[in-house]
A and B are shown apart, each in its own frame.
Chain A
Amino acid sequence: MGRNKEKQWPYYLIFLGVFLIFPFSLFQYTKYILFLVNMTAIGVIGALGLNILTGYTGLISLGQAAFMGVGAYTVAILSTRVGLPLWVNLPAAGVVTTFVGIMVGTPSLRLKGFYLAMSTLAAEFLLEYVFKNWESMTQGIQGLFITPPQIFGMPINNDRVFYFLSVTLAILGVIGTRNLFRTNVGRAFIAIRDRDIAAELIGIDVFKYKLVSFAISSFYAGVAGGLWCYYMTIINPEAFQLSISIDYVAMIIVGGMGTLWGSVYGAAFVVLLPEAIQRIMEVLQPVLHMEYTFAAFKQIVFGFIIVVFLIFEPKGLSEIFSRLGNKISNLRRKEDRIARGPRE
């Protein structure tokens, strides 16, 4: 294993190089790719949060979008009404959402399985209602504009500037999650998912840890929502409805529940899929006379893919890739053995 770690640092260097240089390239589609990466980065952060809660701790949540909304509105309100800077607002979005998460979680986490899911569903609808109707704070369905703060003289919602922020935060999110599951808190989460009664009996305060999981998950969601607000510069309740929560659940299922890279693969998949469909449809149908057909087709493909994954590979892309990786390394080992020749 140590051998592998030594061999990895050139890859890290290459990755770092690409990461730093790409946004400045003159490739025709750079701006578009940056946009996709930015959207994926936001998705990764949200998916990491949901995966901690649902994939690792086994608590179903259908309210991830609403929590992102809390983060987004926090950023918007702090930015426009109080005039606080980004480096305050973004963490604040995480913290405020954590509080909301704890408030929602404290009564809900006594419930299990389906009933917990329903409780989060209720939270999703009720928060949506608040977004739509607390007009003095959120401007309701009209939406809330923010003036994007400037970084080095450029607005935060510039694709290149935002890219450095979002990807850095996504990487930090991944590292934080990976570390979490190397320690006792993370292990406790998994224990709760696998056998919560035994976990309680060996000394884990299950309710407390469920709440901690909910809190961490909410923090991630809040930061993702705050980033969304800074990138879109206008937010309205529609961006945080149930279908978005379902998108996030789809991300962790397609990506791989309870795996680190699953959140990344899943986010990339769910963000890129509609874009791919749109490009394909643009190529295939020069005459799109029914504008809702794209939405319909997107829905059908999305639903179909979820069903297909659940039937054939419920462990998601991370399992598929890991098997592929094993096959490749087995092949390489075979080649090594053949190259070395027969042993005595």
Chain B
Amino acid sequence: MDLLIQVLIAGITIGSIYSLIAIGVVLIFKSSGVINFAQGSMVMVGAFITYALVVQFKIPILISLLLAFLISGVMGMIIERSVLRYLTGASLISIIMVTLGISYVLDGGALATWGSSNFTFPKLFPSFSIQLGGIKVSSIYLWSFLTSMALLVIFLLFFKYSKMGLSMRAAADNQKVAVVLGISSKKVLSLTWIISSAVATAGGILLASVSALHVNLSYIGLIVFPVVILGGLDSIAGAAVGGLIVGVLEAISGVYIAPLLGGAFQQVAAFAFLLIILLIKPYGLFGTKEIERL
């Protein structure tokens, strides 16, 4: 029983981080139909930038965080302006490959700058031990979970109620009408990428805090896909729920299923799950089905 609780805690924590990262992908998809395969790289680079600011440049934590969000936001905007803008209306395979190309550049850049070793991420949260039932849980899990959830709630509220959020949804839904209503889709698009990058950085920081900092963190960008498919490519709430489910699933697979099947099954558990979902409900729990007309 203790083991199960530990597994669940780990799963929910990682899952909430997945949710956060997935929201970045959903945002960009909702506003431009682009599927961003570079999100994982942005998560990793965001974490490294934070690390560099705090540890290498020794800037105070709060300012470092602000700077990190700023820098990654600018990076996201640059990517959108200098690359994606030229590929509006391009085929899906082109979009996938261009974002993969960007991820290669980011990964390579990070590898060249920091190398391929493990780094200890600075402690951003007060550290203590929590007693849950009979087990000791490190506080970082709690902090990560709370931060993710807080950010998720902020996002949901932002999109549902704020003026900018409404504009973004309008622009995503029907570009032509949005333009007539005075909503600049170009501005909205840039803003989407900025937010998505900042969210990626937040996710990276949390992820690096819970596990470790390494250039391989960018692989998280792939796990995000089972999450968004489960939750529905165009649903923010779906991403939130999907992330938690996938996180828990992974944790459970690692502990209970992997020993049966051998190897690191938890690494592919999300994808086995993805296949099952694709066969049953490809548009996810909350997604909208596309209707084709002749």
Given a CB threshold of 8 Å, the question of whether A touches B is answered with: yes
Q: Are A118 and B261 in contact (CB under 8 A)?
A: no
B272→A253 contact, CB < 8 A: no
- Asked if A310 and B275 sit within 8 Å, CB to CB, the answer is no
Contact among A126, A129, A300 with B105 in the assembled complex (CB-CB below 8 Å): A300
Chain A residue numbers with a CB within 8 Å of B86 are 311
Contacts of B106 in A (CB 8 A): 303
Contacts of A135 in B (CB 8 A): 262
- Chain A positions 292-326 with a Cβ under 8 Å from a chain B Cβ: 292-293, 295-307, 310-311, 314
Q: Classify the secondary structure of A's interface with B.
A: helix
Instruction: Flag whether B255 is at the interface (Cβ < 8 A).
Output: no
For the complex, count residues of B whose C-beta is within 8 A of A.
45
Min distance, Cβ B57 to any Cβ of chain A, angstroms: 21
Residues of A within 8 A of B274 (CB): 118-119, 122
B90, B92, B275: the one contacting A60 at CB < 8 Å is: B92
Residue from A122, A257, A300 in contact with B109 in the complex, judged by beta carbons closer than 8 Å: A300
Cα distance, A250 to B96, chains bound together (Å): 11
Listed stretches A28-36, A109-117, A163-171, A207-215; interface member? A109-117
A60 and B96 contacting across the interface, CB-CB below 8 Å: yes
Tell me if B188 counts as interface (CB < 8 A to partner A): no
Which B-chain residue is minimally distant from A128 (CB atoms)?
B268
Neighbouring A residues of B153 by C-beta, 8 Å: none
Q: How far, in whole Å, are A117 and B229 apart by their CA atoms in the complex?
A: 12
Q: Which of B111-119, B156-164, B204-212 contacts A (4 or more CB under 8 A)?
A: B111-119
From B93, B108, B226, B262, contact of A133 by CB (8 A) = B262
Per the bound structure, the CA–CA distance linking A344 and B279 in Å amounts to 72
Cβ contact within 8 Å between B93 and A311: no
Given known A-B contacts A300-B104, A303-B104, A306-B104, A117 and B268 have beta carbons under 8 A apart: no
Q: For the complex, give the distance between the alpha carbons of A202 and B83 in Å.
A: 39
Q: Counting CB contacts under 8 A, is A331 at the interface?
A: no
Interface of B is mostly: helix
A115: which B residues are within 8 A, CB to CB? Answer: 229, 278, 282
B265 interface residue per 8 A CB criterion: yes
B35 at the interface (CB under 8 A from A): yes
Cα–Cα, bound, A302→B109 (Å):
12
Q: When chains A and B are docked, how far (Å) is the Cα of A305 from the Cα of B104?
A: 10
C-beta contact mask, B41-69 vs A, less than 8 Å → 1, else 0?
A: 00000000000000000000000000000
Contact B263 A292 (CB under 8 A): no
Shortest 4 CB-CB contacts between residues of A and residues of B: A303-B104, A299-B108, A306-B101, A300-B108
Q: Which residues of B contact A (CB under 8 A)?
A: 35, 83, 86-87, 90, 92-94, 96-98, 100-109, 111-112, 115-116, 222, 225-226, 229, 233, 261-263, 265, 267-268, 271-272, 274-275, 278-279, 282, 292, 294
A-B pairs with beta carbons under 8 Å apart, 20 shown: A60-B92, A107-B275, A121-B225, A125-B271, A129-B263, A129-B268, A132-B263, A197-B294, A242-B222, A253-B94, A296-B112, A300-B104, A300-B112, A302-B101, A303-B100, A303-B101, A303-B104, A303-B108, A306-B104, A307-B102
